[in-house]
Structure 1
């Protein structure tokens, strides 16, 4: 089924809306590689039933969102990951060597709020999306009412790194370009970074979701540029103390890709922020964790 599009910040952004357009907006921002299809219907509907206008969308370079004004986004190959990582570690201005950084993706999301006719929104972001919503609160504070960073980090390079097997799983490539190989890789990836088996989706569900996403949109260069944006983003952790928005930080106790201490650091730096850790939850968004998330998010939204 075709979804609506709106033009914002030089992009044609594919989005989906749940709930009444008269309600306050909550914008859900996906993570690296995540299309808007990753958000469980049950989660979106529960937020809508709680009185929110729920917006999900495809970030730039992923899914069905396309560039309008910047042809470089369509064909630019970013520098190799190793070069960017080394340059960043040595303090080089690597942000000047990539097509865009997370600041630009935060500007996209802020422009989307305005393009959809809202003054501001509660913003919830997963993983890379959690970094983006922090930058929205820093760079576009008038567009943010409340902040919910999920399974993410303050960006402080002194924080604990990903476990090697988790990072390897995130950056692995399928053995071939077949749907079956892509599905098999998704299963291996979420066994490495995902939740305890009590919460994690079944292998068949993981495989089917990955195959459906690549059939919807297969944009490997976009994924490379998104990863480059992650690596090249100038650090922002030392600015978080300036955020004056109600903030709830959520993290999984079993997150092996972005350890829970990274979420705790966000909450420590933002004045008045709350931190909640969920047992058996890893770096994924299975249906089984939705009730735990809603138990934290809905009371927070009601308070603000």
Structure 2
């Protein structure tokens, strides 16, 4: 069953141009944001999977900046404004849900992108739904449980829920959490201001979803052109994880942001967007994607 509920207005003060609505997808209610879905484009839309505990607004600036294509993303159950999940989920069931969501909006093929936890989801989606996936972009992510761990201090602080609800705590430990932070204080404050804490159940279920999961045995069979983007100073996901992905995925290229941490999409925004546009350009013989 797939039904749309009434669109909800954005929170006061937000500057997103997205259409935001609550969508019921086979028993799950998700808050979905869509950018430029009704505008013609030569590019297929981007399906974006966010990092753990992150709401749509956290990565909205990227979708806002890439004005030549449509974007679609959603808050995971229990994050942002998606209601708490009633039962746990895993990458298989959530990829299936995402595919049904694409069907809801008539999207047969998309470019799939994910950051951190969402990068694992993006890998699984591309493997599970190859016909819906054109190209794959993996940012600051790993092959799952076989990852090379990052800085223990960063993991300890990342697990602390204060990073979502205490702006001073987040500000104090930002460099430890994300590394490579820009000196532009406005960028840091802007990112912190966009975060909304997930519910305890939502956060725990996201953690549980990836326990025991790894893409490593399947990566040699990944047939999609893949762009791997990593920060050289990432304290949470060390660069070696991107090198492993690059070695295992046949049609992949690894790009490293010198001085970039876990949030290089924010700190190196112009470079990131230029790289994405170059990689995601359609082939000459491809049919234009429907808006």
Q: TM class by shorter-chain length?
A: 0.7 to 0.9
Aligned residues of 2:79 and 2:199 also touching (Cα < 8 A): yes
> How many residues are aligned here?
262
Give unmatched runs, 5+ long, in structure 2: 1-8, 11-19, 284-291
Q: How does 1:96-107 map to 2 (within 5 A)?
A: 99-107=88-96
CA distance in 2, matches of 1:143, 1:133: 12
Higher helix share: 1
SS in 2 for 1:152: coil
Structure 2 residue aligned with 1:32:
52
CA distance in 2, matches of 1:287, 1:39: 8
Structure 2 residue aligned with 1:300:
279
Q: TM-score, normalised by structure 1?
A: 0.78
Specify whether residues 263 and 53 from structure 1 end up closer, same or farther in structure 2 by C-alpha distance, changes over 3 A only. same
CA distance in 2, matches of 1:47, 1:242: 30
SS in 2 for 1:48: coil
TM-aligned CA deviation for residue 186 of structure 1: 2.2
SS in 2 for 1:13: strand
TM-aligned CA deviation for residue 189 of structure 1: 4.3
Give unmatched runs, 5+ long, in structure 1: 68-72, 77-98
Determine which of 78, 83, 86 is the counterpart of 1:61. Answer: 78
Structure 1 residue aligned with 2:126:
137
Aligned residues of 2:257 and 2:264 also touching (Cα < 8 A): no
Specify whether residues 259 and 6 from structure 1 end up closer, same or farther in structure 2 by C-alpha distance, changes over 3 A only. same
Q: How does 1:128-207 map to 2 (within 5 A)?
A: 128-155=117-144, 157=146, 159-174=147-162, 182-198=166-182, 202=186, 204-207=189-192
Q: TM-score, normalised by structure 2?
A: 0.81
Specify whether residues 261 and 30 from structure 1 end up closer, same or farther in structure 2 by C-alpha distance, changes over 3 A only. same
Structure 2 residue aligned with 1:253:
232
Aligned residues of 2:179 and 2:235 also touching (Cα < 8 A): no
Structure 2 residue aligned with 1:84:
none
CA distance in 2, matches of 1:10, 1:54: 23
